[in-house]
Structure 1
C-alpha cells in the first residue's frame, strides 16, 4: 500500500515489518494516511489563499495610492483655480472646509441665478427655445409651446431632439418650404439674424437667432419668436397716415416748412420750393435763418428759438404774422406766417405755414391810394357824402357830413351805429324796409 511519504518514513523507522503487515495495523495506518492527505490539502489551500490575498492587497493598495494621487492633484488644481478667481482668501486655500463652503455658496448662487433666468424667460413676451450644439432642448417656455401648438409642458421637452422640428411645424407658416430652408441656412452660418415670419393665419412673428459661443467653441443657440401682428398693423397705419399727411402737405397752396429744436429744416413742401426757389434737397438739414430770413431779422429769430428752449414760450407762436422774407435770389418780399409748436413723443418741432402776400399787399396799396384820391376829391368838392356797403356792413362818412351834424372828424367813427343811433325812432322802420327791398332786388 502506498502511504503518504512522511507517514511511510515514520513506519519504516518505528514499526517492524511484521507489525506493519498486520491487517488491523494496516487498517489503522490507512486512516492515518487519509489524515495526512487531508492535512496536505488544507496546507495547500491555506498557502493558495494567502498568496491570493497578498496579491489582492497589493492591487488594492496600488489602486488606493492612485486615487489618493488623483485627489491630491484635483485639490491642488482646485486651489489654483480658486486663487485665480479670487473666491477664497490665501489663508483658506489649504482649508478644505473653507473650499467646500465656498463651493456650496457658488452652487446656491448659480441655482438662484437659474431661478431668476427661468422666471424671466417664463414671463417673457417672446417664445424662447434654447438648444445645445446637438440640437437637444435645454430650455423652453410655455409661450413657445403655444405659438407652435405643442400640446405638452415645456419641462417635458427638455432633452428632446429638434432636428426634425422645422418639418413638423412648417404647416404653421405661409411659406412652409422657405421656413424649413431658412432654418437650415441659419444653423449652418451660425450668425445672428432678426427677421419676420408670416404665419398661415396672417399673423406676423419676429424671429431672432442667437448663436452661443464659449471660448470660441459653438455650444448651441437661442431662438426667440415674438408676435408683432398688432405692432405691425400700428406701424403700417402710422406709415399710411404719414403718407396721407405728406400728400396733403405737398398739395397745400401754402408753403409748409418744419424745423427741429435746433432750427434745422426737416420738411419743405413743393409750394415752399415755388415761393422761395430752393429745392427740398438743397435745404434739408440746413438752418432756416440761412435760407429765408432777412439778415436784419436773424438775431431776432435765434433769440426767439433760444427763449423757447429755456422757457417753453415764444411770442411769435400760434399767431398770424406779416413779415418780410427772402428767396433764393436774395429778393425780399412780404409773407403771412403762422408757427405752431408740435410734440410727437419725445420729439418737438415747429411747423410753419407761409403764404406769399405780395399781390395782396400791392392791391392793398392800390386800394389805399384810390381811397385817398377819392377822399381828397370829396373834400375838395365840399360835398356832404356818406356811403354804406350792405354786403360788408362798412360805412364811410365824409368830413363835411360830420361837420354838418356838428362833430369833428375824430368824434364820429365810421361805424353803422353812429348813423343809426341818430335816426328818429319813427324813421327806423322805413330804413329797415328800404334795406329789405334792396336785398330782395325790388
Structure 2
C-alpha cells in the first residue's frame, strides 16, 4: 500500500501544475480537519506522504480542530478578518452555510481552469455537493446509513440470516421473534434498537422521495425559506413509526445520537440497529468473533417507498485566501487526497466510501472488500440511489437536527401527539431559518 501511495504521488506531481522548487521556501498551506482516533492517524499519514513527495514545492500543515461544529465555529469567528486555513474539512450539513458565506472558493473554478475530469468522482456522491451545476467542494469522507444486524441471532431465531428487513413492517415482525424475555417477563435482548438521530429523519424523507425544505430542497440559487416536511406528510410518517415502535414495546429508548445504540449492538443487547457505513470497521473490530454482522439497505418507512439515501460525512473546501500560489497548492493537495490509491488506503483504514470510481479496480480495494464483504452493501445502496435524491441543503441544519431529536423525545414521552410534534417542529425550524436569512 505504501508503494502504491508513493507511485500515485509521483504521477500526480507530473500531471498537475508546476510549482517552483525551493527547499527552503516551499508554498505552505494549512489543512483543518475533524478526524480523531484511527481516522485522524490516517489523515496524518496521507499528509506526511504528500509532503515527502512534494518536498521543496508544497508543505501541508495539518491541524486537528476538534468536532465538525468546533471547526465551523472557528472559521465563522475568523471569517470576517482572514481565512484561518487553505483547505478545510466540513461536514455535509455545513455546505449551505459555506456557499452562502462567500468564504469558499468553489472547486469548480479549479476544475474548469485545467479541464479536470470530474467523471472520475462517484456521481451520487458528487451530486450532494453540486448546486446549479457547480461543484462547490470535493467529496472526501463520504458515508450513508446502513442497517446492521446480528446474523447469528437471526439463525438462532429461525430467520434467514442472509435476508435482512427492508422496511419497518418487516423490522417489527422480525424484532418480535428476536426479542428474548426472562422467566419474569423482563426483556433481556431487544430485537431492534436505534438511536434518536436527526440524520435518520432526513434520510427517511429522501427514502419516501420527499423534500425536507422548499426551493428545490435548498438546492436552488436561493436558499430555503421554510421546511415542507409538515406540508408533504413526511414528518408525520416518521413520527408515527417512532410512536408505533414504543407503543408496541418493540424498542427501548437509546438516547440521542448513536453512541448508546452502537454499544448495545456490540454487546448483543439489540439484534438490529441503524448506523453509518463509516462505523462498519469499528463494529467488526469490537464485535470480533462474538457474532457475525450482516448489513442491509437503510430501511424504508413504507414497503413501497421508491426514494433513496443521501450522502453524509464531509468534504474538502478551499477557502478564499487571496493568495494564488497557496490556492494552486491547495488544489494539488485536494487532487492527491481523492486519487485512487489514496482513496483505497482511506477506505481500508476508515470504512468511508472511496469517492473515485477508479479505486474499485485496485487490488487494495478488492482485497479490503473481500475481507469485509459487508461493505459491498454500502456500495450497492449508493449505486441504486438516483442523483435526484442527493439530499437537502439547509443553513441551520445543526439546529434542525437537534430540534428533530427534541420532538422525537417529547413524542415518545407522551408530551405531544404526532400532529403537535410536526407542527411545533416545523414552526421552530422555520423560525431558525428566518432569523438566519435575515442576518446573513
TM-score when scaled to structure 2?
Answer: 0.15
Q: When you count strand as a share of all residues, which structure comes out higher? A: 1
Q: When you count helix as a share of all residues, which structure comes out higher? A: 1
TM-score when scaled to structure 1?
Answer: 0.14
* Greater C-alpha Rg: 1
Structure of greater relative contact order (alpha carbons < 8 Å, 6+ residues apart): 2
